[in-house]
Amino acid sequence: NPWKPLLLLLSPPAFSTTCARCAKDRRLRQKRAISERQLTRCFVDQRKVRVVGGQGGGGGHSFHSEPRKEFGGPDGGNGGDGGHVIFKADQQMKSLSSVFPFYRGFHGERGGSKNCYGANGAHVYVKVPVGTLVKEDGEVVADLTEHGEEYIAAYGGAGGKGNRFFLSNENRAPKLFTPGEPGQERVLHLELKTTAHAGLVGFPNAGKSSLLRAISRAKPAVAAYPFTTLNPHVGIVHYQDYEQVAVADIPGLIRGAHQNRGLGMAFLRHIERCRFLLYVLDLSVPQPWTQLQDLKHELEAYGKGLSERPGVVIGNKIDLAQSRISLPLLREQVAERVIPLSALTGDNLEELLVHLRELYDTYVKTEQSRGHSPVKW
């Protein structure tokens, strides 16, 4: 059959969760090496922004002049209002790296003669990711959780009044006019809480970054030392029905993280927005079930009920000899489902992807039953 080679290329490969040869085929192509220092430019989760509203235009000062109409009266129009600075949530934005430290609204135009009003200044829209918190003096003033949601960060100043505004029976030729008011000025702190569907939670060097590289196109730095990942990374898992599940690689937690030890609470807040959690354990260490107990303790100490969210336990590094000994012991000590896999060789990744889709479908049905719209990527 001359079309057989083409059909073989188009047909999806048949993967197995147990066949070693098929698991070896799951090895991904080598990705371009990139350091964590370079990745810092790509993901920014905090920003200090100074915003100033546009200044209002001054009022006009003029008198009507026309042949054979000596006393035409005042005809100075009002000035235009200054433009606002508005934060707008956009689901296409994934980081605060594109947000500048200063924004100013456009000024309003001055009022003209013949009762012409000045034009209002244009508003300045600043696109921020969905899930951005806006804080002022440590207090939350806005939480942009929906696509298209807006928050006026700085109001523009009101336009001044022209001398036509002050015309009265007592004053038929007013010369008074007012300047435009300055715009509002504020210093705001933007804080991004990652709105991923799943969060990879684990101790340093548990293999979270390697797992995210294996199931998505994200490229977090991977190295043989702790705290390789210093910034959260979000990878997208694509399915054949075009559904996309976002998985966040949260930097490694340590004991006492809720007391701001290690990377501290700066990255625990990213777990708050995750709908379900993936606990990544290192099977090559003795008594790996203690890692799960410590992780849940840190999550519960940070936020009550955080450790009770739906999730699954992932036993990583199953390709090592010690891991095969620790796996049955882990299943005896842990009540949750345990998925053993190897992020390095790709062994048994299919079971994780199938279960990840089940968790996502359950989340979508739950949100729809409550009348809410689930987060889509």
Provide the pLDDT for residue 311.
87
Local mean pLDDT, 10-residue blocks, the chain (377 residues): 49 47 48 51 77 94 82 88 94 86 94 89 93 90 90 94 88 88 94 80 81 79 55 81 85 55 59 84 85 84 81 87 85 86 86 90 89 76
Provide the pLDDT for residue 7.
45
State in words which class domain 198-370 has.
alpha beta
CB atoms within 10 A of CB 369: 8
Provide the pLDDT for residue 48.
93
Provide the pLDDT for residue 193.
76
Provide the pLDDT for residue 66.
78
Residues 6+ apart with CB under 8 A from 223: none
How many CA atoms lie less than 13 Å away from 300 in the CB half-sphere?
Answer: 8
State in words which class domain 43-193 has.
mainly beta
Q: Which of the 8 DSSP states describes residue 63? A: B
3-state secondary structure of 194: coil
Could you tell me the residue ranges of all domains in the chain?
43-193, 198-370
3-state secondary structure of 90: strand
Which helix (DSSP H) or strand (DSSP E) does residue 39 occupy?
helix 36-39
The pLDDT tens digits for 17-49 are 445 455 444 444 555 555 545 544 456 778 899
